[in-house]
Structure 1
Amino acid sequence: MLQTSNYSLVLAVQFLLMIYDLLANSFSELIFTEPVIPLIMFIIQDIGILFNIIIIFLMFFNTFIFQAGLVKLLIHRFTGTILVTGIYFVLSVSFHVWIQNLRWWNMRRYVWTSGLQALFVFQRFAAVLYYYFYKRTILCLGDPRLYEDSEWLRNEFFRVRK
């Protein structure tokens, strides 16, 4: 069971990873002086998104709902977060690979294709959705009803069985 002190630590780690992701998205275009600096920043950003995905699934596995076998209820409740996070991760990796390939040898030239611009817009839009859904999910997972047996859970269990 997730204790309050452990939840505070997990919540702090998740928020720090999201803040780094926000800062990397905000300032990545300003630091193209050496090709290695954005590469390292993008790698850390992508690893941070992966850590957030791992943490959220570990929190799912830790709930009483999951342990009671109501995985479908848990997935149904957080489908938006799972989908948006996966899409955002794919778009981020794609954008990072594409921009690094275009700018690795041409650091002095401004290289920006129409396809890259479209991917940039989709990735930033997905980032906004990711921040909203992920923050909402991690705050919802702090609900004590998810970690203990309750009347609400019993009603959901009988509703699913019918």
Structure 2
Amino acid sequence: MVDYLTGRYVPIVVFQIILLVTDLLINIVSIILRSYNALILVFLIIQILCIILAFSTIFILFFSTYVYQVGLIELLHERFKHTIIVCLIYFLATLGINIWSLLLRYNETFTGNWPTEFIVFYILHRLFAPLYYYEFKRCFLRISDPRFYEDSR
């Protein structure tokens, strides 16, 4: 059974790692390519889509567990509540910082003089990102535990 699950979840784990690395690289590239507005717009849309795909994949993994199919949703909620909250906060913060930075870029006020509130939110977002990466990686490694996919008898 463990070999089956290992083989089954290798592509999913690789896909999740690709999504996390893409998010990390876009966070880095968005700083470097500040003067290319159209390219930044495309990167930020890709970043939001990667976060949505990653979050959706986690829920698909939840729905395919034996624990969920039996109706013990509370057990999954209890074990992964912190990860879900961190993912939602990161998604909302990323969406907010992306919209705000695009508004600043297209209003021609992004010449290097950022508002103080934007700098604070930007730094908090970047400091929160490693927690998101850790929680998300921990979640998709924990959900591949064979105990979630078999009867306890």
Q: Do the two structures share a fold, i.e. TM-score over 0.5?
A: yes
Partner amino acid, structure 1, of 2:144: G
Structure 1 CA distance, aligned partners of 2:19 and 2:113?
A: 29
Q: Is the 8 A contact 1:102 1:111 kept in 2?
A: no
Match of 1:14 in 2: 16
Deviation at 1:5, TM superposition (A): 3.0
Q: Is the 8 A contact 1:35 1:103 kept in 2?
A: yes
| Structure 1: gaps of 5 or more residues | 152-162
Structure 1 CA distance, aligned partners of 2:73 and 2:134?
A: 23
1:86 aligns to 2:88 (yes or no)? yes
| Structure 2: gaps of 5 or more residues | none
Residues 113 and 76 (structure 1 numbering): CA distance in 2 closer, same or farther, change over 3 Å? same
When normalised by structure 1's length, the TM-score is: 0.87
Structure 1 CA distance, aligned partners of 2:68 and 2:46?
A: 30
* More moved, 35-44 vs 20-29: 20-29
Larger Rg: 1
Deviation at 1:112, TM superposition (A): 1.1
Partner amino acid, structure 2, of 1:93: L
Where relative contact order (Cα < 8 A, 6+ residues apart) is larger, the structure is 2
Structure 2 CA distance, aligned partners of 1:139 and 1:109?
A: 42
Cα-to-partner distance string for 1:40-60 (whole Å, 9 max, x where unaligned): 000000000000110000000
Deviation at 1:33, TM superposition (A): 2.4
Deviation at 1:107, TM superposition (A): 7.8
Deviation at 1:27, TM superposition (A): 2.4
Match of 2:42 in 1: 40
Structure 1 CA distance, aligned partners of 2:30 and 2:110?
A: 16
CA RMSD of superposed structures (Å): 1.8
Structure 1 CA distance, aligned partners of 2:26 and 2:148?
A: 33
Percent identity between the two aligned chains: 35
Q: Residues 120-139 of structure 1: matches in 2 within 5 Å? A: 120-139=122-141
How many residue pairs get aligned? The number is 151
Structure 2 CA distance, aligned partners of 1:14 and 1:64?
A: 21
**Which 4+ runs in 1 deviate beyond 4 A?**
none
Select the residue among 84, 106, 114 that pairs with 1:104: 106
